[in-house]
Amino acid sequence: MASKYQAPRGTFDVLPADARARRRIEAVASAVFARAGYEPIATPAFEETELFERGVGRSTDIVRKEMFTFEDKGGRSITLRPEGTAPICRAYLEHGMHKLAQPVKLSYGGPFFRHERPQAGRYRQFHQLGIEAIGSDSPAADAEAIVMLDTLLKELKVSGVELRLGSLGSFEARRSYLEELKSHLHAHEDELSEDVRERIDVNPLRAFDSDDEGTRSVMENAPTLVERLEGEDAAHFNAVRAYLDVSGVKYTIDPTLVRGLDYYTRTIFSFVCDRLGAQSELGGGGRYDGLIEQLGGPSTPAVGWAVGVERILLALGDEGAGDPGMRPVFISFKWDAEVERQAMALATELRNAGVATEFDLAGRGAKGQLKHANRIGARLVVFLHEDGPAQVRDMDSGEQHELDPARLVAELTGGET
């Protein structure tokens, strides 16, 4: 190991090639957001711990064991944000955004932090892009959000993606359903696999995912939440489905969809990808009509989602490479104080004129400079000599001629040769 120091566990450095791919994802996302009227917002990387405890839910894994929490010098309990929705709702309330035209449509991106065991597609500092539409209970808002994520993934050309859709109903509907499911499971306890049995009261929905034969046969007759939906919950879900149908977005109903955050109500969805391994979710979200009220605000319906940037990168594989950028002009010069100053002056002039320009900073000889120019993909090389006129060389054709100082910029921008 060359260096004594390493990036902390579960974190990573974004090196230039990776940074280009990320920049492309961000560019596509911000275009998708802007077209649908979602304005950018940014919140701090850390918040009062209580915001997440109340917002995400004290019983969730995130709050119970995954938060980076510390005390600041003023004795406040601070937590590195593990997700983006609660902070945005906090900002919505803090800045009185309920007085704006509703819904308030926001988009965001940035680092998030969860203290988990790292594995493929799972990091302790990871990046999400997301949107929130706050202040609308219309199923069209749910559908709009889902269509946007679908569009984003399609425009990024992520393949092998599948949309799973479900509904949790209202808090009340969900609670009574979960009781029903638990009693079904308890009634067949001896037929279940051990791990499912242990989690009956913690996470009964998980039983639907089991590979265990006995468990599967029990689950075939288990009630599902989607079929228990009634009244407005059922109407909302049907409307979302109809909107997705007219938008040409394909989905599969997944009655077993689970979200690990307490704030979800009604619509939930998840985009999964078969190229991802164990962490197969690219992104997901849903409706959270109770969250703002939970944070002390007025009852306000809302819907949103987040996608994992690292997950997208993983799903994209080698196809995710970003634009390598402009091919620069390279100024080759002799290591002579006067000529070096000319090179510096010329580089600045060209750069100010909008031309990507580089020159040697490593003391290379003439040959080394040209070799370097070739390596960095230079389009043209200007040779500066202490005597005689400057030359320009086209690196692709090898053609070389005298540079006319009067038409310097025009010539080097590729306007003509």
Partner RNA sequence: GCGGCCAUAGUUCAACGGUAGAACUUCGCGUUGUGGUCGCGACAAUGAGGGUUCGAUUCCCUCUGGUCGCCCCA
Kindly identify the residues of this chain, within the stretch 54-83, that bind RNA according to CB under 7 A: 60-62, 65-66, 83
SS3 6: coil
Tell me: does residue 37 bind RNA (CB under 7 A): no
Only one of the segments 131-139, 174-182, 283-291, 322-330 lies at the binding site for RNA (rule: CB under 7 A); that segment is 283-291
Q: How many Å apart are CA 332 and CA 352, to the nearest integer?
A: 19
Q: Tokens 């009227």 belong to which residue?
A: 37
Q: How many Å apart are CA 281 and CA 274, to the nearest integer?
A: 9
Tell me: does residue 86 bind RNA (CB under 7 A): no
SS3 416: coil
Q: How many Å apart are CA 105 and CA 91, to the nearest integer?
A: 13
Among 143, 395, 403, 412, binds RNA (CB under 7 A): 395
Tell me: does residue 119 bind RNA (CB under 7 A): yes
Q: How many Å apart are CA 92 and CA 86, to the nearest integer?
A: 10
**Nearest to RNA of 103, 204 (CB atom):** 204
Tell me: does residue 175 bind RNA (CB under 7 A): no
Among 189, 386, 402, 404, binds RNA (CB under 7 A): 386
Q: Contact 67/49 with Cβ under 8 angstroms? A: yes
CB of 261 to RNA, least distance (A): 6
Q: Contact 215/192 with Cβ under 8 angstroms? A: yes
**Nearest to RNA of 241, 311 (CB atom):** 311
Tell me: does residue 6 bind RNA (CB under 7 A): yes
Only one of the segments 71-79, 237-245, 323-331, 392-400 lies at the binding site for RNA (rule: CB under 7 A); that segment is 392-400
Could you give the angle at the alpha carbon of 150 between the alpha carbons of 145 and 153, nearest 5°?
130
Number of residues that bind RNA (CB under 7 A): 73
Tell me: does residue 197 bind RNA (CB under 7 A): no
Return left, alpha or beta for 26; rule: phi > 0 is left, psi -120 to 50 is alpha, else beta.
alpha
Alpha-carbon distances of 381 from 19, 341, 344, 356, rounded to whole Å: 27, 17, 14, 12
Only one of the segments 9-17, 24-32, 181-189, 238-246 lies at the binding site for RNA (rule: CB under 7 A); that segment is 9-17
Only one of the segments 30-38, 86-94, 234-242, 387-395 lies at the binding site for RNA (rule: CB under 7 A); that segment is 387-395
**Nearest to RNA of 101, 278 (CB atom):** 278
Contacts of 69 (CB under 8 A, 6+ apart): 49, 77, 78, 79, 80
Among 219, 370, 380, 403, binds RNA (CB under 7 A): 370
Q: Contact 291/297 with Cβ under 8 angstroms? A: no
Tell me: does residue 22 bind RNA (CB under 7 A): no
Among 18, 116, 180, 191, binds RNA (CB under 7 A): 116
Tell me: does residue 310 bind RNA (CB under 7 A): yes
CB of 242 to RNA, least distance (A): 25
Tell me: does residue 193 bind RNA (CB under 7 A): no
Q: Contact 196/210 with Cβ under 8 angstroms? A: yes
**Nearest to RNA of 191, 212 (CB atom):** 212
Tell me: does residue 8 bind RNA (CB under 7 A): yes
Strand pairing class (252-253; 265-273) = unpaired
Among 220, 367, 406, 415, binds RNA (CB under 7 A): 367
HSE, side-chain direction, 13 A CA sphere, residue 94: 8
Tell me: does residue 221 bind RNA (CB under 7 A): no
CB of 191 to RNA, least distance (A): 18
Among 39, 172, 319, 396, binds RNA (CB under 7 A): 396
CB of 365 to RNA, least distance (A): 5
Q: Contact 122/96 with Cβ under 8 angstroms? A: no
Tell me the one-letter amino acid at 250. K
Q: Read off the tokens for 197.
A: 């049995």
Only one of the segments 92-100, 228-236, 291-299, 393-401 lies at the binding site for RNA (rule: CB under 7 A); that segment is 393-401
Residues in the chain: 417
Among 24, 122, 184, 327, binds RNA (CB under 7 A): 122
Q: Contact 20/316 with Cβ under 8 angstroms? A: no
CB of 243 to RNA, least distance (A): 21
